[in-house]
Structure formats: C-alpha cells, structure tokens
A and B are shown apart, each in its own frame.
Chain A
Amino acid sequence: AAGVIQSPRHLIKEKRETATLKCYPISRHDTVYWYQQGPGQDPQFLISFYEKMQSDKGSIPDRFSAQQFSDYHSELNMSSLELGDSALYFCASSLDGRFGYTFGSGTRLTVV
C-alpha cells in the first residue's frame, strides 16, 4: 500500500521567496500533520487538520499557512522565506489521530 507521499523531495529557494509543499496522506486517513525538523533536532509540530478543518496549531510562524483539500491532500505554504526556515518538513497522516502516525519521506527545504 502506498504510504504518505510528499512533494517535492528537495527544494531550494532564495530569501523572501515563497514555497509550497504538498502532502498526500494514506487512503482513508482523515488527519494530516506537518512537522519541521532542523538538523539534530526532534520534529517540531507545526499544524494539523482533521476532516479538512484545522485541528491544532503548534509553533507555526505567521508567514506559513496550510490547508487540507477535499481529497484530503494538504499543502503547506511558506512565504517571505528566511534562512532559518531551512529544514526537513515532514507530513504525517493517521486515522482519527489515535494511533501510530505514518510519516512521509519529507521535503528538504534549503533557503539561500
């Protein structure tokens, strides 16, 4: 069965540019989560969606926004990029948020 699909795998952007990351959850999973992981850090929760509605919000900068679409895929939009935004961005999905979340392979964002 297909896992959580993220695109693109790698992204290089310049400061002050905009980036859009996409996440396609496992079929029938209704909850999507976004995490940011800096080098040597544990993943930091950004935002989550349950049934296409924002469920919870973590340490997501105001420059970032996200949404979940009718087909349950989600997009993380990042504007006015800063050097400090360079990180691995992971999407995870789960069924009702109660059990083990399945993570995608991540998008490595490099801001230069």
Chain B
Amino acid sequence: QQQVKQSPQSLIVQKGGISIINCAYENTAFDYFPWYQQFPGKGPALLIAIRPDVSEKKEGRFTISFNKSAKQFSLHIMDSQPGDSATYFCAAIDGSARQLTFGSGTQLTVLP
C-alpha cells in the first residue's frame, strides 16, 4: 500500500503555464515533506521542503501548499519552462524513525 499517494502520474503543460502536483498521506508520524526532482539517469535532487506547521513555502517559481487537516500537500511550478521537464517525487519523512517514503512520481513535460 502506497503510504504517500501522488497524482497525476503524468502532466503536460505549455511553457509559461502552472504545473500542479498533488500528494496525500495517512501516517501522522510524518513530520517533514520534501519534493524531489529527478532527471533521467540522475539521482533525485531536493527541490523544496516544508514542515507541517507551515501552510505554504515559496522558493522562486516553486511553491508548496500544505493542508495538515486534510493530510495533503501540493507542488506548484509557476511559469513552467521546458527545463523543468523531469520526474517529480513528493516524499514524507518520519524523523523519529528516520524513514523517507516516496510518492509514485509525476512525469512532467513542459512543451516549448
């Protein structure tokens, strides 16, 4: 059973558009929520992360929105660029157990 559910599986966006990827979790022990960007053949790279006591975090064109009561969080990529085309994984960390759980990934394609 996937502990972190991610959608959509794939996403196609026009250049300049907004890309939105959603994740949901059940385990209330999760206390840190990072997003990773992965290019083919490369390791996942930490993009942005949020703690559950914060509702939104913005870094450049990337924003995480976090809804603790709904146990949902999302990544918004503003002004999407072809260079953003990659696979994005949401993740959840249980710090006390030192465990990171990945979502199933979203393959983003930004059309020029």
Interface residues of A (CB under 8 A from B): 4, 31, 33, 41-43, 45, 48, 50, 55-56, 88, 90, 92, 94, 96-106, 108
Contacts and interface: CB of A to CB of B under 8 A. Distances in A.
B44 interface: yes
A97 B49 CA distance: 14
Interface stretch (B11-19, B73-81, B93-101): B93-101
A56 B99 contact: yes
A98 B32 contact: yes
A99 B49 contact: yes
A42 to B, nearest CB: 4
A42 B104 contact: yes
Contacts of B101: 45
A98 B101 CA distance: 13
A33 B100 CA distance: 9
A7 B41 CA distance: 14
A97 B98 contact: yes
Range class of the B interface residue count: 20 to 34
Contact of A105 (B42, B97, B98): B42
Interface string B89-112: 100010101111111110000000
B33 to A, nearest CB: 10
Given A56-B99, A100-B32, 12 more contacts: A42-B105, A48-B99, A90-B44, A92-B43, A98-B32, A98-B95, A98-B98, A99-B93, A101-B34, A103-B46, A104-B43, A105-B43
B29 interface: no
A45 B93 CA distance: 13
Contacts of A96: 95, 98
B45 interface: yes
